[in-house]
Amino acid sequence: MSDRVLEIRSGAATDVGRVRQVNEDSVLAAGRLAAVADGMGGHAAGDVASRLAIQSLEQLLFAPGQLTTDEVLRAIDRANQEILDAAVSHPRASGMGTTLAGVAVVGLGGTDHFLIFNIGDSRVYRYADGALVQVTVDHSEVQELVSVGLLTAAEAQSDQRRNIVTRSLGSDPAPQPDTWFLPPNPGDRFLVCSDGLTTELSDDDIERRMASHAPPQVVADDLVAAALEAGARDNVTAIVIDLLDQDASSVVDGDTAPRPVLGDG
Ligand code: MN
Sequential pLDDT tens for the chain (265 residues): 445 678 999 999 999 999 999 999 999 999 999 999 999 986 669 999 999 999 999 999 988 888 999 999 999 999 999 999 998 888 778 889 999 999 999 998 888 999 999 999 999 999 999 999 999 999 999 999 999 999 998 899 889 888 899 999 999 999 999 999 999 999 999 999 999 999 999 999 999 999 999 999 999 999 999 999 999 999 999 999 999 976 544 444 444 444 444 444 3
Longest Cα–Cα distance in the chain: 68
pTM listed for this prediction: 0.90
Paired with 243 in beta bridges are 8
Distance from the CA of 140 to the center of ligand 1, in angstroms?
Answer: 12
Q: What are phi and psi for residue 251, nearest 5 degrees?
A: -80, 125
Distance 215 CA to ligand 1 centre (A): 25
Name beta bridge partners: 67.
none
Distance 148 CA to ligand 1 centre (A): 24
Residues with Cβ < 8 Å from 91, sequence gap 6 or more? none
CB neighbour list of residue 117: distance below 8 Å, 6 or more residues apart: 72, 73, 76, 100, 101, 102, 104, 177, 178, 179
| C-alpha to C-alpha distance for 218 and 170, rounded to whole angstroms | 33
* Cα of 88 from ligand 1 centre, angstroms: 24
Q: How far, in Å, is the centroid of ligand 1 from the Cα of 182?
A: 26
Sign of CA dihedral 145, 151, 153, 157: negative
48 C-alpha to ligand 1 centroid (Å): 14
What integer pLDDT is reported at residue 89 of this predicted model?
A: 86
User: What residues are neighbours of ligand 1 (ion), with CB under 5 Å?
Assistant: 38, 194-196, 234
- The pLDDT, as a whole number, for residue 191 is 98
- CA–centroid distance, 212 to ligand 1, in Å, is 25
What pairs with residue 184 in β-bridges? none
- Ligand 1 midpoint to CA 265 (Å): 51
Dist. CA 170 → ligand 1 center (Å): 16
* Residue 197 contacts residue 214 (beta carbons within 8 Å): no
CA distances (Å), origin 5, targets 87, 205, 216, 250 = 40, 33, 20, 11
| Angle, vertex CA 95, rays to CA 94 and CA 99, nearest 5 | 130
Q: Measured in whole angstroms, how far is the alpha carbon of residue 63 from the centre of its chain? A: 20
CA 172 – ligand 1 centroid, Å = 22
What spacing in Å lies between the alpha carbon of 123 and ligand 1's midpoint?
11
On whether the CB atoms of residues 68 and 2 are closer than 8 A, the answer is: no
Cα of 236 vs centre of ligand 1, distance in Å, is: 7
Cβ atoms of 239 and 36 closer than 8 Å: yes
Kindly give the distance from the C-alpha atom of residue 185 to the centroid of ligand 1, in angstroms, as a whole number: 30
Residue 189 half-sphere exposure toward CB, CA atoms < 13 A: 25
* CA-closest candidate to residue 124, choices 213, 189, 68: 189
CA of 235 to the centre of ligand 1 (A): 6
Task: Look at residue 205 and give its three-state secondary structure.
Answer: helix
What is the predicted pLDDT for the residue at 4?
61
What is the pLDDT, as a whole number, of residue 3?
52
If you measure from the C-alpha of residue 234 to the centroid of ligand 1, how many angstroms do you get, rounded to a whole number? 6
Quote the CA–CA distance of 26 and 10 in Å, as a whole number: 16
Side by side, the strands of the sheet bearing 131-134 are 8-15, 236-243, 189-193, 123-128, 131-134
At 261 the pLDDT is 46
